[in-house]
Amino acid sequence: MQRVTCTRWATGTIAALLLLQNAWGQATPISDEDELASIYGDKSTISLVTGNRQPLRRAPAVATVITAQDIAAMGATDLDEVLETVPGIHVGRNNQGYNPLYVIRGIYSEFNGQTLVLQNGVPMTTMFIGNRGLLWAGLPLANIARVEIIRGPGSALYGADAYAGVINIVTKSAADIQGSEVGLRVGSFSSREAWAQHGGKLGAFDIAGYLRVERTDGFKRTIDADAQTQLDGLFGTSASLAPGSVNTGREAVDANIELSMGSAKLRAGYKLRDKVGTGAGAASALDPVGQGRSVRSNLDFSWNDIELTADWKLGLTGSLFHYSNEFPSPLQIFPPGAFGGAFPNGAFGAPNTWEKQLRLAVSATYGGWNNHRLRLGFGADDLNMYRTQEFKNFTLIPSGPLTGLPTPTPGAQINEFPVADSFSTPHRRKVIYGYLQDEWSFARDWTLTGGVRHDRYSDFGGTTNPRLAVVWDAGVNITSKLLFGRAFRAPSFSEQYSINNPVLRGNPNLKPEVISTTEAVLSWQATRDSQIQLSLFKYEMKDIIRATDVGGGTQQYANAGRQTGQGFELEVTQEINRNLRVSAHYAYQRSTDKTSGQDAGYAPNHQLFGRIDWTAPQGWIISTQFKHVADRARPAGDARQQIADYTTVDLLLRTRPRPMGWTFSLVARNLFNADVREPSLAPGTSIPGDLPMAPRSLNLSASYRF
């Protein structure tokens, strides 16, 4: 019934849009494209797909571009809010810090290492967990020029973790800012934010700078039962803090600076996340006192389009990245009185890591071969988790019927453990790679893009990943694509090298996860002002890294899983007139765990999104959007009922953006206060009621350009 209802809803939405097109499209044609670009931005080109800027409709991938103007039109303040509007992407959460999971086409995992996030083309991946880090705590948008997204494999160009998709965040240059801007935002949950940015000239250089500070107490939704609730039943205690509130507060500082001259750019960035709350607790037991701190700093250089000859152009890139993940206020793993009173003040731990990464790459394009554009590149990465440190007041029972349960250190004092006795020792990974790509226009209106990349890792060997794409302009307003690609996810250091945990062991013999994906796309520019796109996909995942039983109550990571998936995404956009724009999309996916034969679980099978942007005669812009998420099954081993569906509605009211002067906006998220929940993982006994998300919230912002 839910699937039928969702399908009817999607069909009805699309039919309504087409009727609006017939009724309005010819009556009031767009007469000022520059004005529309000031509201929605130029979304017609993309560089993420092949490394060369090209028209979006002809890019050999299923891709989406969201501009700074579009971000402003939807009232988004964080990357999560932007990605929720992209077809086929669902933003979930894990219980540890409520970190976001960018789930693409049903590929769901606890830490979401299958989605590669780049900033200006440089991976934001941290090596210990293999994702954006345990203390992500949001990414603001005031300094973002555009977000480019590929749904589908990208390892043939971007290497590791470009598995389910690739997200590239492009920061603003001097040309994007053109002057100075200051802004202030206040909102629900005692949230306060201020920022300033400037773009201009410094001698012969273009310069862009950005600084932002934020503080929020976070929302306070209640969890009725947690992991300690179950332990209380075993030990006959009442130590659990549930019912109690999740811990989602944080403080943040963001700073960027960019110097450029021609096609050469030097960027530096700093991201501090402090007093970051623990969400639902590191061990799914509520923790109101633990707080984390992460610091990201980066320096990267790029120089592209260096003309060597009439046919050869060279590109050089290099980046330095440093990341620290610390818990100055140790995590309360379990509350006071846990384990039959063995921990009168609670069980505490602080696993700290420090990483530094050096990446160097060179690429070249050759245009001297008729109807071909060749691109080849080489690179080397030095990925070094150079320091680990652990404080805790417990050890884990190594054997017997209580294997894996914590037992207090003498006096239950929090001590720093020797590195050899901690959760992991330092590790270093070196990678060298090379790739080749050819864009061949083999016939009129036909382009074949083929590519292959080989990565050689110092710790687990080599992997080769090809791609092949045929793009056909079937008519002036119709483009079709047939795509195939293979991608991989590299095992994280925690999966390979975790130690001193008798319950879950690392495995240094792990191989990467592998996915093969086939896609078909039809894009129809129905009129000058409307577009419809249908994307179909099918994939197969092999060698999925999972925890497997090895006996004696112990598990170890192994390449033990297979999964298949298929589905489609249908997108409709209609510019009804210069003041009214409507868009909608419907995404369906079905993923199957081949081990159990059941739904792989947790990711929505159906997503429906709609948005209306209206510029009122008085100059105000009113935007409303809704999202319906449905049919999230539980995987094998989780006997709870299916996760509840939900529908959220957001509303934005803002003044028309001007080159100079004030802009004001008021945004309401989850306007009707829907009970939104993201799944807690199997078997569901830790947090049986799942993870409650933010209730209705309001924020008011003002910015001034000069």
Radius of gyration of the chain (CA): 25
Q: Amino acid letter at 51?
A: G
CA distances from 128 to 60, 372, 388, 507 (A): 33, 41, 10, 14
Give me 37's structure tokens: 């670009």
Buried b (16+ CB within 10 A) or exposed e, 264-274: ebebbbebbbb
Q: Residue 18: pLDDT above 80?
A: no
Cα–Cα distance between 270 and 254 in angstroms, integer?
A: 6
Of 356-370, 396-410, 677-691, the range with the lowest mean pLDDT is 396-410
Cα–Cα distance between 219 and 150 in angstroms, integer?
A: 31
Cα–Cα distance between 13 and 15 in angstroms, integer?
A: 5
pLDDT of residue 401: 73
- Of 696 and 1, which is predicted with more confidence? 696
How far is CA 305 from its chain centroid? 29
- Specify the DSSP class assigned to residue 233: H
Cis peptide, bond prior to residue 243, ω within 30 of zero: yes
Q: Residue 20: pLDDT above 50?
A: no
Cis peptide, bond prior to residue 418, ω within 30 of zero: no
pLDDT of residue 619: 78
Residue 69: half-sphere exposure toward Cβ, Cα within 13 Å: 16
CA distances from 35 to 31, 69, 625, 685 (A): 9, 11, 22, 54
Contact 271, 296 (CB under 8 A): yes
* Residues 269-298 pLDDT 10s: 999 999 999 999 999 999 999 999 999 999
Give the list of residues 6+ apart from residue 433 with CB closer than 8 angstroms, or none. 159, 378, 379, 380, 381, 453, 454, 455, 456
* Residues 104-128 pLDDT 10s: 999 999 999 999 999 999 999 999 9
The percent of residues in the chain predicted with pLDDT above 70, rounded, is 94
E strands in 262-405: 264-276, 291-307, 312-329, 331-334, 347-366, 372-392, 394-396
Q: Residue 19: pLDDT above 80?
A: no
- Name all domains of the chain by residue range, CATH numbers in brackets: 2-705 (2.40.170.20)
How many Cβ atoms are within 10 Å of 145's Cβ, its own excluded?
19
Provide the mean pLDDT of the chain. Answer: 91
Of 381-390, 412-421, 463-472, the range with the lowest mean pLDDT is 412-421
Q: Residue 654: pLDDT above 60?
A: yes
pLDDT of residue 180: 97
The percent of residues in the chain predicted with pLDDT above 90, rounded, is 83
* Average pLDDT score over residue span 222-250: 95
**3-state DSSP call for residue 604?**
coil
